[in-house]
Amino acid sequence: MAMILFVVAFQSYWLWDNYRMQKNGLLKEIENKVQKQALALTLQELAGNIQTTGADSNTNTSFASAIKKDTSVLDDNPQKATKKDLQEYSRLSSISFTLSNPSVLIDDNNHDSALYYFLNKNMPELGGINGNSIVIYNHSQHGFRSYPRNKPFINQNNTLPIAAKLNYGSKFQVHIRHLNLIVLHKMYSTFIFSLCYLLLFAATMFAIIQADKQSKKLLESKNNFTNNMTHELKIPLSTLFLATESLDKYSSHADPKQVQKHVSIIYSGLHQLSDIVDKILATARFQQHQVRLHCQAVNIRSLIEEVLKNMHLQLAQKKATVDISGIPDSAYIYADYEQMLHVIFNLIDNAIKYTTADPLITISLKKHNNKYAILLRDNGKGIPQKYFREVFQPYFRVPEQDMHNVKGYGLGLSFVFHIIRLHSGNIRVLSSGENAGTIIEIKLPVHDV
User: How far is it, in rounded angstroms, from Cα 352 to Cα 315?
Assistant: 8
Are 123 and 209 part of one and the same domain? Answer: no
- Is residue 93 one of the residues assigned to a domain? no
Are 174 and 28 part of one and the same domain? Answer: yes
- Is residue 125 one of the residues assigned to a domain? yes
Q: Are strands 143-147 and 295-299 parallel, antiparallel or unpaired?
A: unpaired
Are 342 and 389 part of one and the same domain? Answer: yes
User: How far is it, in rounded angstroms, from Cα 202 to Cα 7?
Assistant: 10
Are 177 and 215 part of one and the same domain? Answer: no
353 residue type, one letter: K
Whose CA is closest to 380, among 433, 435, 429?
Answer: 435
Instruction: Give the domain CATH number at 275.
Output: 1.10.287.130
- Is residue 199 one of the residues assigned to a domain? yes
Are 266 and 337 part of one and the same domain? Answer: no
Question: What pLDDT, on a 0 to 100 scale, did the predictor assign at position 432?
Answer: 59
* 438: enclosing H helix or E strand: strand 438-445
Count of domains observed in the chain: 3
Find out whether the peptide bond into 148 is cis, omega within 30 degrees of 0. yes
Question: What pLDDT, on a 0 to 100 scale, did the predictor assign at position 344?
Answer: 92
- Is residue 89 one of the residues assigned to a domain? no
Question: What pLDDT, on a 0 to 100 scale, did the predictor assign at position 87?
Answer: 54
User: How far is it, in rounded angstroms, from Cα 225 to Cα 149?
Assistant: 85
Are 164 and 25 part of one and the same domain? Answer: yes
Are 249 and 362 part of one and the same domain? Answer: no
Kindly write down the DSSP assignment for every residue of 164-206, as one continuous string.
-TTSTT-EEEEEETTHHHHHHHHTHHHHHHHHHHHHHHHHHHH
**pTM score, two decimals?**
0.48
Q: Which domain holds residue 212?
A: 188-287
- Is residue 59 one of the residues assigned to a domain? no
Instruction: Give the domain CATH number at 323.
Output: 3.30.565.10
User: How far is it, in rounded angstroms, from Cα 86 to Cα 84?
Assistant: 5
Question: Which of 287, 307, 331 is a domain's end point?
Answer: 287
Are 176 and 109 part of one and the same domain? Answer: yes
Question: What pLDDT, on a 0 to 100 scale, did the predictor assign at position 381?
Answer: 80
Are 192 and 252 part of one and the same domain? Answer: yes
Q: Where are the beta strands (DSSP E) in 73-229?
A: 96-99, 134-140, 143-147, 162-163, 171-176
- Is residue 18 one of the residues assigned to a domain? yes
pLDDT tens series, the chain, 449 aa: 677 788 888 888 888 888 889 888 888 988 888 888 877 777 776 665 554 444 444 544 444 454 444 444 444 444 455 555 545 545 544 444 444 444 444 344 567 888 888 888 888 878 765 566 888 888 877 778 888 888 888 888 888 888 765 555 678 888 888 888 888 888 888 888 888 888 888 888 888 888 888 888 777 767 766 666 666 666 677 777 777 777 766 654 566 777 777 777 777 777 767 777 776 776 666 665 666 788 899 999 999 999 998 888 788 888 889 999 989 988 999 999 988 998 998 899 888 888 877 889 999 999 888 899 999 999 888 888 888 888 887 777 777 644 445 555 567 788 888 889 889 999 998 875 666 788 999 999 888 75
Question: Which of 235, 270, 287 is a domain's end point?
Answer: 287
Question: What pLDDT, on a 0 to 100 scale, did the predictor assign at position 287?
Answer: 60
Question: What pLDDT, on a 0 to 100 scale, did the predictor assign at position 82?
Answer: 53
Question: What pLDDT, on a 0 to 100 scale, did the predictor assign at position 427?
Answer: 92
Are 142 and 26 part of one and the same domain? Answer: yes
Question: Which of 229, 261, 287 is a domain's end point?
Answer: 287
Are 261 and 405 part of one and the same domain? Answer: no
Are 281 and 204 part of one and the same domain? Answer: yes
- Is residue 57 one of the residues assigned to a domain? no
- Is residue 350 one of the residues assigned to a domain? yes
